[in-house]
Amino acid sequence: MKKDIERILIDEAVIQKRLDTMAKEIETDFPAGPIIAIVLLKGAFVFAADLLRRIPRELSIECLNVSSYHGGMESSGKVDFLDRHFPEVKGAHVLLLDDILDTGRTLAAVAKRLEEEGALAVHTGVLLAKDKKRAEEVEADYTGFEIGDEFVVGYGLDYKGKYRNLPYVGVLKLSAAN
């Protein structure tokens, strides 16, 4: 796996330190009462596991399968909800977590759906945000790191299903992307 990585962009220790801060911010900002964390699969599962364990609050965790990349390097432009059932969010403060904010379509589509389903408030958190013009006007309330507009893998992010288990975020070698 390592041989396919051009360079490490954010190493493990830096990610973990940043999560300490993000968790404190979330803990301070959220009003008293339960939180429902909605984790977008599969990319956000590593980030969410590390972040949510740092938040000493009553919270429930739901996962949603959405797809916009279909395994490649380019967004398909369409967000599909793949689950048969949508979690019950009526009247809840929701913390929506995704791995990376790119075109913004995923976060915008899921936040809209959560609002339609009756969530009281939708707060968004992403590990990474690409510094680029978005197709949808959306920014996350909590961002771990801003990165350039390049394709990254690791710490939950994949290319064709691989590299999710790397403990850091790295840039894939062009030779590995085919």
Which active-site residues does the annotation give?
102
Q: Is 144 helix (H, G, I), strand (E, B) or coil?
A: strand
Any contact of residue 39 with ligand XMP (CB under 6 A)? no
Q: Is 134 helix (H, G, I), strand (E, B) or coil?
A: coil
Any contact of residue 143 with ligand XMP (CB under 6 A)? no
Chosen residue from 4, 41, 61, 75 binding ligand XMP by CB under 6 A: 75
> How many Cβ atoms are within 10 Å of 41's Cβ, its own excluded?
17
Stretch that binds ligand XMP, among 3-11, 23-31, 47-55, 97-105 (CB under 6 A): 97-105
Any contact of residue 140 with ligand XMP (CB under 6 A)? no
8 A C-beta contact, residue 125 and residue 140: yes
8 A C-beta contact, residue 52 and residue 46: no
Q: In what order do the strands lie in the sheet with 152-153?
A: 5-10, 169-172, 152-153
Nearer to ligand XMP, 104 or 125 (CB): 104
Any contact of residue 98 with ligand XMP (CB under 6 A)? yes
Pairwise CA distance, residues 139 & 159, whole Å? 24
65: amino acid identity, one letter: N
Any contact of residue 151 with ligand XMP (CB under 6 A)? yes
Any contact of residue 124 with ligand XMP (CB under 6 A)? no
**What is the binding site for ligand XMP (CB under 6 A)?**
40, 43, 68-69, 75, 98-106, 151-153, 157-158
